[in-house]
Every structure is written in C-alpha cells, then in structure tokens.
Structure 1
Amino acid sequence: MTARPDSAPDSLPQTTQKAARPGVRSRPDLQRSGSRPPDADAPRKARRHGSASRTPSSGRAEIAAERVASLIAAAEPGARLGTKEELRTLCEVSVGTFNEALRLLQSRGLVTVKPGPGGGLFSAEQSPMVRLGNSVLALDAQAADVANAVRIRDALDPLLIEDALWHASPADIAGLRFQIEAMEQAVGAEDSVAFVHANWRLHAAIAAISPNALLSSLYSSLLELIESHTLSVLPTSEQPLGEYIAHRHTLHRDLVDALDRRDRDAALRLIREHNTSLQATE
C-alpha cells in the first residue's frame, strides 16, 4: 500500500518528494505532515488571551452606572447631567453598554431621560407614587396618567379574557405559560421589578390573542405607558412584598389554567380578583 503524501515523514530522501511545480515557490517551513508553522496560532491565542482579560459587558455597564451615579450624588434633584452621548463618552463605553447602564440607573430610580432640545439625562426628582394592590409603583413622572391607565387597563381585562376564551390556540397558551414561568422565577429571586415586568408581558400576550385590533392596540398602549414611567416596585406596610407577588403569581397561573380548559366562570372570577383597585398614595 502506498502511503498518503500528507503522511510522509520529513526524513524521506529528496528523490521521493514531489517536484515543485514551475512558478510555485516551495515552503520549506511547512512540514509535509500538514502541521502549522510555529507562529500560525499566535494571533488566535492572542485573541483568546485578550478576550479573557476583557471585562464582561454587564460588568462594564455596572461600572458606567456607578460613574454616572457619582455625578448624580453631587447634583441637585432634577439637575441636568448631560446628553447620552456626552455621558457615554465620559464613561468610555460603547452605545450598547451605556444603554444597559442607563437601564440600571432607571431601574434604581436615579435618572430620568427627557427628549428634544435641552433634553438628556437628569438626576431623578422625588418619585411620585401610585398604589398597585398591596404594592406601590415608584414613577418618574405623570402619576395621574399612570393611575388612569391602570384603571382603564383593569376595565378592559374582562373583554380580553372573553376573547382569549374563544380564540386562544395551544401555541397561545404555551406562550402564556412561558410568562408564568418568568413570574415564578422572579418570585423565587424576590425580584419584584422583574415580576411586574413579566406580569405585564403576560397581559400583553393575552391582548395579542384578541381578534379585535382596536382593543388589543389600546390595551398594549396602556401597558407601554405604565411600564415606561415605572422606576421600581415598593412594598406597602400591609403585606410583605414577597408574599404579595407570590399570591399574584398563583392568581395568574390559575387564570391561564382556566383559559386552557375554557372555564369561563373561573376565568372571569379570577380576572375580577385580579383588579388592582388603583389609588394614588399621599
């Protein structure tokens, strides 16, 4: 059997080697066994070593958020900190990383963003509060608008539940259960903000089931208004927040179960219990 050319040892006599084609320079530094030259992997190794030494994106976002927070600590409430681009340049991070840092700052109620001329990032003023069941939403502004939006949302819930009872497909129910799982994870992590956002995503998914485009669009707009102004979720003195969100998770899980089995009486009873009876806090 004739050995394959790529496995021939380097010690073969020159007469057994194939002659180089005319016009093609030989590469004595490349062994016939197919191995790479000693420095061929150097750039790849350097890239690996470089990437290992880099700070993860989430870590850079946290550092940028802390840097902006230090500016906020030295500023008056409501003071303008600068444009997003000015602060991003100051923090020396990418646009994506700074946007992540900005989300962290907003979730902590430290900054507000105002568009248009003279806009930018501002240190947060004292947050207006709106009661949501046994929790309180801390808002960046427009407490009355948010309170009204949630009242209207609560009034529209039974209409959307009726539509979901008739029109929810198995795929729709699976999507609702996915959000229920996200709510359960937030309960386990005692993360009230993540819980509320998963809750709103669940209701958006229920609204998307409706064939009534006007109703679905109106409901989604109300959710967007509420979510865009919410900075954090705080407990009331009446019930620990962890207990409250655990109860709300159970209620929403039972609601999805009722939709799955087309149990109209149970679904409408649960959505009435779901009503948060919003009122502004003093």
Structure 2
Amino acid sequence: MNDKLSERSRQILEAIIEDYIRTAEPVGSRTVTRRHGLALSPATVRNVMSDLEELGFLTSPHTSAGRVPTDKAFRFYVDSLLQVGTVDQDQQEEIRRHYRVQGRDVGEILKETSRVLSSISHYIGIVIAPRFAANVFRQIEFVKLCGRRILAILVSESGIVQNRIVEADEELPSEDLVRMSNYLNGLLKGLTISEVKRRIVGEMESEKVRYDTMLSRALKLSEQTLDDSMADVFIEGQVNILEQPEFADVEKMKEIFRAFEEKSQLISLLDRCM
C-alpha cells in the first residue's frame, strides 16, 4: 500500500511523524497546517489523516486527541521520506581527527566510532562489530593454562582477535599444543571462519584423523573455539536520550537502559531493522 500514497498524503504523513518525533505527543490537523505551511484546510488534513489511519500508518490513542504514527509509518518514513543530510567540512575534520592515532586495535577503533557518531548526531551512537564468522582466518594459537584448561587465541585477517578458554578431554603438554596450532594454521589459513567450521567438520570425518590422535584433538579444540559467539556492540552517548521528550517517563528510561545492557537483544533488534 505504500506506493499508493499520493504526494499530499506523503507530505502530511511526514509532517505528523516529524512533529511526533519532536514532541512525543499526538498530532492534530491544526498543528499540521500551522507548523508546516501546507496550503490545505484542517478539514482536508483530517480527511487525509483518516485515510492514513485506515491504511495502518496512524492510530488514535484517544478520541479527538490527534494521531500517532505506527511502526508501519516509521518504517515508511525511513525507507521513503527521510532525507539523509551531508556531513559538513567541520564534521569531516572532526572525524579525521579521531582516527589519526595509529596502532590501535579494532575494538578501540569501533568504540571510538560509536563515540564520534554520538558526538556528531547528538543521539546514541551504536556500532556492531563485524560478525566473526564473516572474517578470514589468519591463525590460531593454543596456550596452556592449568590442568585441562587452554586459552585459544583466534586472529582474523582484519585484525580482530577472539580469546576463549576451552577445556580439553585430557591434560595436554605445551609441545602438543604448538604442533596442533601449526597443523590448524596450515589447514585453515585464508578461509573465512564459516568455511573453517565446515572444513573442520569434514576433516573430523576423514580416515586420517580417526587414526591420528593429535589431529583429532586439534580439531576438537578448534571446534570449541569457533562456537558461535555474540558480536560486540559499542554504545556511546546514552545520556543524549534524556533530551528526547518520550523518555521523560522514568519507566521508559529503565526499559531502554535494560535493552542496552541486554546486548544480545539489541543485536537481534538491529538485525531485524537492517
């Protein structure tokens, strides 16, 4: 139904959404005509708002209290109405200034990116690190800790490092761990992490591995290391939401901050939005 909206309907819907974003209050027809300079009467605007409500873009929280955009309206606004602004010269220089320092790891750069986004937009800056499974494998190292516990260090070609403590079926000497690392690095280098997982499964089913205890142990350890892990999320500028009218409600503030703490839910939400 989105492509059936007339230009007049699009203008009125855009006006309602922008007013609602600004005030967090239901928007009435007189408000639309007064603030947005539309050459339309309030009666005409009301008729269009009624049509938009039937199409699922608006809803009425209370009788005669104005209209509120629905999720469908916000989706349409982002996809079809929102105008993306340009980054001016001062903002470009600010971005460059933040990235002139050399030698920082990927995590520091991504955290800095969320901070820059928040500073420029005056909203919350959220950055999700690339999912590790999409990276290209560079090397894996096993470091003996105590007993059967081993620190597995996985490095991608992009410089992302993933550390994980795994537990072997039995205690392994450091020399065996070095040989396992060398074997896996030769076997898996240049593959994406997703390809690495498939390769490991294939190798574990081969006749050679069944009769080579060291290779079997190496593959089992690498399989534990490559278990799916949650992508890192970097959030900066949470205080900026205090400037938004809809978050004057303390309970809403508690809910949004709980969402920031539950990063797995946040990633799932962002995945559905993109």
Give the TM-score category using the shorter length: under 0.3
TM-score, length-normalised on structure 2? 0.24
Q: Scaled by the length of structure 1, what TM-score is found?
A: 0.24
Higher relative contact order (CA 8 A, sep 6+): 1
